[in-house]
Structure 1
């Protein structure tokens, strides 16, 4: 018997390979899905079933691709927004045998209308579920978003409340297997660990402590979430089926001359924030490799081309993996060598850093300057600097058009990481009077705590 979690770094996506008796099932596969075939074959298993818990918003499903590779059938829940053309429909109570294991579908709408959870049973002990694949309904320490149907927010929040009670009815012994871990955009309060049980969540998950349905609905309606533009692309691909991921995911190497003449829509510097601030090629935006899953989909649109600028080949390979998983894989190539380019006399741009004392001074008497806070709305509501202006970093993808390029801007966030992304985006749009508050809200709190 096999039950293995496969984690996708960056997206914090969790998928699962379950097998017994020579058969295997995959729950919520990612786009680059060869890993499931390799692991199944290594265990002497044939993938016969592919289960989707819901229409993913934040990554490309590998279900149709894996089905093509293996001949397995894909199962998806009822009531999708549009037909999921590559899948058959599973309904509440449907049962699927995987050797001595049984997977039972449970309709659990709320996060999406088509959401299913899958309870896992060992037929030798059929009365109690061993575990449950909860998708985006229940996480470790949190529950799913309920903001994808803005005209029905109260209704779907109520459906999520009911679905969580359905899941908890499986019993405290059931192990929770969610589709995401901490760091995912699909929840804000997830625990760092990726293991739990229904019993532990019942006692410790703050969202499950809300026992009154109307109170839960009010809480969900008042939550603040952001929906990057690429979510719409994921919705479309995860209904019509995405193409296979590129066989070679390492981008081709570009010379400096090729980089300058490649005609990419975006020059994306994936080096560390301090390296970017110290010196970057003119016109390049900053998107550190580890932040690509969270922010690339805000600034890079479907079909737009990208050229990457990195410190090394490993960064290029990792960046490409991240981009492929959200279908932003029109990558023209990658360049390594910013420091050697500078040594050859290539003109670089810098983004200065300033400290708390400089921010305090400007707040008192700078008329042509704005302290721009790019944290999310919840962070801003908890604590902010009087006199600052708020625009969430992702929403600068369009909001930059409202800003005056002749004005000076200091970008700030919680520590300076997202501020560098924001400054890099503005610099790539032609803003020249920028600097970054080093330490940002952390430094401010330390000085005023």
Structure 2
């Protein structure tokens, strides 16, 4: 009897898989922190015989090479991927024995990348699961625009063809196990639901219900912004990522924190946005450890900039380190735990700013106060509606465009509060008066604020 264990990387919106039989297993698209994978295999009592990549990843640093070297597993990489380390190239139709009666069959599914390969798990000759990587996702497909702009439309058409190949080859009950689609920006849209099958996708996935031209037009029109750090992930994976070091970083005292801030380095406070707003080290930035830390910190920080982490407990620092190595931020320059007063020199006072709801903004506007409303959502989100008169600068562009924010008190909002907190910390560090709107955007209209909806008619 086969098994499939899912390893979630929630911060990146990805999944990895450990699949096998009583004695041996294969790992598909492993995360960089391979100790999790090794522990999962140990719980199952199986040997990791193979490590398989569906494609050269653009959104995270793979742990595949390190895992293969650590366990002695055979490292399966699509033959078309250009990599500079020893591996076993896999071509369409190749079959790999995993355990007795258990076979992994490679299926070329280009689209997310030109060399993308899915793997079909067969038990006693019967397909039971398909590891589809960035090809067929839950209700969607992997985006085709991460490789080369001139290839985007061609790859979009390849996605359509690959989805149909999977659906035409596999029975309805075969499980679909994608890597992307659970919050990852590698997905062309986000998954609705937690599990799916070929049959379910045949009914609901645009790639399988629309003709190629309509599908491609809709896919290309809906593509979102690409995180800036993606440009570094492919080259890192092609050259062969080094093993990670998750040992605690050196401890920074108040003098060192002040020195690093003065040098223009980033000091990142991992506490929740409520605690940060109430009191923090002046000049520090707020990226909640419980939010999409890896995605947004890697997206916004100048690549290679030293970062110091602040948190309430050592466990929070350790969790952040694990998240950050997955996107190539390998070692914090330093870290400190405790409370803001312990991170500041004698005589320094914590900085703070107020939080509010959209109802508070409506009240302020109703009194005739002239305030700046800053919307830091992405353009695709704003296209669905925005507060009239608001200024739009997406959070991933704000740090470089602070000078464009009009004078006055800035009420900053996003869709739910997390990105507004990041933006508020940038503005606060720049000396601006700021109010962080910690509220769902749907509450704006409910509070009586005029919301423009560009797509509305009639």
1:73 Cα offset (Å): 2.3
Match of residue 38 from structure 2: 37
Q: Is structure 2 residue 246 aligned with structure 1 residue 243?
A: no
Q: Is structure 2 residue 156 aligned with structure 1 residue 157?
A: yes
Distance of 2:293 and 2:380 partners within structure 1: 22
Q: TM-score, length-normalised on structure 1?
A: 0.90
Match of residue 191 from structure 1: 192
Match of residue 8 from structure 1: 9
Instruction: For structure 1, list consecutive stretches of 5 or more residues without a partner in the other structure.
Output: none
Match of residue 204 from structure 2: 204
Match of residue 354 from structure 2: 352
Q: CA RMSD in A?
A: 2.5
SS in 2 for 1:48: strand
Contact 1:303 1:330 in 2 (8 A): no
Matches within 5 A, 1:125-144: 126=125, 128-144=126-142
1:74 Cα offset (Å): 1.5
Q: TM-score, length-normalised on structure 2?
A: 0.88
Question: Aligned to 1:383, which of 382, 385, 398?
Answer: 385
Match of residue 73 from structure 1: 74
Q: More displaced, 70-79 or 53-62?
A: 70-79
Matches within 5 A, 1:37-186: 37-80=38-81, 82-99=82-99, 100-122=101-123, 124=124, 126=125, 128-148=126-146, 149-169=148-168, 170-186=170-186
1:112 Cα offset (Å): 1.0
Match of residue 284 from structure 1: 284
Distance of 2:233 and 2:311 partners within structure 1: 27
1:420 Cα offset (Å): 0.9
Distance of 2:366 and 2:107 partners within structure 1: 55
CA deviation map 1:190-229 (0-9, x unaligned):
0241x22111222233x24532110001011101312122
Q: Is structure 2 residue 396 aligned with structure 1 residue 394?
A: yes
Q: Judging changes above 3 Å, is the alpha-carbon distance between structure 1 residues 236 and 275 closer, same or farther for their aligned structure 2 residues?
A: same
Q: Judging changes above 3 Å, is the alpha-carbon distance between structure 1 residues 324 and 23 closer, same or farther for their aligned structure 2 residues?
A: same
Q: Is structure 2 residue 21 aligned with structure 1 residue 20?
A: yes
Q: Judging changes above 3 Å, is the alpha-carbon distance between structure 1 residues 178 and 357 closer, same or farther for their aligned structure 2 residues?
A: closer
Matches within 5 A, 1:255-404: 255-262=253-260, 265-290=265-290, 291-341=292-342, 346-356=348-358, 359-360=361-362, 361-362=364-365, 369-403=371-405
Distance of 1:33 and 1:418 partners within structure 2: 30
Number of corresponding residues? 439
Distance of 2:412 and 2:3 partners within structure 1: 49
Instruction: For structure 2, list consecutive stretches of 5 or more residues without a partner in the other structure.
Output: 450-458
Q: Is structure 2 residue 444 aligned with structure 1 residue 417?
A: no
Q: More displaced, 263-272 or 17-26?
A: 17-26
